Amino acid sequence: MDLISILNEIRLLVDLDSIKNETSELQKKIFKAHQKKSISYKLNGNKQTISKELIITELQQILKTKTLERTRYYLSRLIKSLEIRKEGKLNDINLNRWKEYDDILTDSLWIFDKRDTSGVHKADYWGNFIPQIPNQLLRRYTKKGEWVLDPFLGSGTTLIECRRLGRNGLGVELNNETAKTAKRVTNKETNKYSVTTKILRDNSGSIDFKTKLQKFKIKSFQFMILHPPYWDIIKFSRKKEDLSNAGSVQEFLNLFGKVIENAYPYLDKGRYCAVIIGDKYSSGEWIPLGFYVMQTMLKRGFKLKSTIIKNFDQTTAKRNQKELWRYRALAGGFYVFKHEYIFLFQKTGE
């Protein structure tokens, strides 16, 4: 359909009634002619698509408008959204078509009913995050072809999402077996955008990023996603460099701080970094790990951009003990954890 020409012709009609009649005809044609979710149109000889729902909504708005001036304004806006991409510096979202991205979250409360288990994603690594977290963040804070660093790689969830979304990714993981499994699983994910995925077995607090980046011909990172151990809630290894083996909160924060300092120079200025972390309960006291970690980031030159609260998947063991935990909470005067934090930071300094 030569949608743009049709809309331009409608816009040039002299009176409101004619504009509305022709718009109504176009709307009927779109309803009838296209069974699919999106409709195609031509732009400079190339085939483009727009969601059918979106164009119908836009045409409905035009039909409801009462003045000629306003109607023409909405028509021009619709034509512009079909002709011109408007992208920011951080992502590939076309702001002229922002209504099409209704699955991209913009509120600070994230509630997911179930984890995405499609493709090679699995829930079997104890302590992994749900793939929807990196999926949302990568689409908001990176463009296709950019580089992402995950210094607490675990099972490789971030890198699997990187491959799906066409982002290059480097993951660092302290444990040999975990790194090996992540490599094997990640490589199984289809690489339709031909991106590069690298996994290193190392300590993120001391790894020589400069040499590694030179070796892999990576200039810098455009996004970092950090999902450290929630101190000692899950012990990931016996290694002393492992954050889950820190002897105290302060030691945990020092080890986390080392990772930040080590990676910081390689994140581009103005770009974002996300930290996913939960709090912990110990000896009758709520330890606000999340807030401590946030402070650690602020002290190292990051600017806080958002605090997101995400519902927490209870482990199977805890789910089976739901009644017991409810009793304990009632008796002990505390609340059962049901949330974790996603802190969003921007690098402002050099």
Ligand X SMILES: C[S@@+](CC[C@H](N)C(=O)[O-])C[C@H]1O[C@@H](n2cnc3c(N)ncnc32)[C@H](O)[C@@H]1O
Please return the burial class of 154, using the count of CB atoms within 10 Å of its CB with bins 0-12, 13-18 and 19+: buried
Binding status of residue 154 toward ligand X by CB under 6 A: yes
Question: Quick one: which of 70, 90, 127, 200 contacts ligand X (CB under 6 A)?
Answer: 127
285-287/147-150 β-pairing = unpaired
Residue 98 to residues 24, 35, 74, 205, Cα–Cα distance (Å): 24, 23, 15, 39
d(CA 331, CA 325): 10
Identify which range of 52-60, 125-133, 141-149, 328-336 contacts ligand X by CB under 6 A. 125-133
> In the bound complex, what is the minimum distance in angstroms from residue 27's beta carbon to ligand X?
45
Site map 205..224 versus ligand X, x via CB under 6 A: x-------------------
> In the bound complex, what is the minimum distance in angstroms from residue 39's beta carbon to ligand X?
38
Binding status of residue 129 toward ligand X by CB under 6 A: yes
> In the bound complex, what is the minimum distance in angstroms from residue 163's beta carbon to ligand X?
14
Phi/psi for 295 (5° steps) reads -60, -40
Binding status of residue 135 toward ligand X by CB under 6 A: no
Concatenate the DSSP letters of all residues of 193-251 into one string. T---EEEEES-TTT--HHHHHHHHT---EEEEEE----TTSS---S-TTSGGG-SSHHH
Identify which range of 18-26, 87-95, 124-132, 294-302 contacts ligand X by CB under 6 A. 124-132
Question: Quick one: which of 136, 178, 186, 197 contacts ligand X (CB under 6 A)?
Answer: 178
Are 223 and 271 within 8 A, CB to CB? yes
Collapsed DSSP state (helix, strand, coil) of residue 21: helix
Maximum pairwise Cα distance, the chain: 78
Binding status of residue 201 toward ligand X by CB under 6 A: no
Question: Quick one: which of 167, 227, 310, 347 contacts ligand X (CB under 6 A)?
Answer: 227
Binding status of residue 343 toward ligand X by CB under 6 A: no
Binding status of residue 19 toward ligand X by CB under 6 A: no
Binding status of residue 175 toward ligand X by CB under 6 A: yes
Identify which range of 37-45, 53-61, 123-131, 291-299 contacts ligand X by CB under 6 A. 123-131
d(CA 91, CA 272): 11
User: Considering CB under 6 A, how many residues would be counted as binding ligand X?
Assistant: 25
Binding status of residue 290 toward ligand X by CB under 6 A: no
Q: What sections of 264-337 are H helices per DSSP?
A: 289-299, 316-320, 322-332
Binding status of residue 236 toward ligand X by CB under 6 A: yes
Output Rg (C-alpha) for the chain, integer angstroms.
25
Contacts of 109 (CB under 8 A, 6+ apart): 308, 309, 310
> In the bound complex, what is the minimum distance in angstroms from residue 202's beta carbon to ligand X?
7
Binding status of residue 347 toward ligand X by CB under 6 A: no
> In the bound complex, what is the minimum distance in angstroms from residue 181's beta carbon to ligand X?
10
Name the token pair of 114: 């179930």
Binding status of residue 279 toward ligand X by CB under 6 A: no
Binding status of residue 241 toward ligand X by CB under 6 A: yes
Binding status of residue 152 toward ligand X by CB under 6 A: yes
Helix and strand totals (H; E) in the chain = 12, 12
Question: Quick one: which of 81, 181, 186, 203 contacts ligand X (CB under 6 A)?
Answer: 203
Question: Binding residues for ligand X, per CB under 6 A?
Answer: 125, 127-129, 151-152, 154-155, 157, 172-175, 178, 203-205, 227-229, 236-237, 241-243
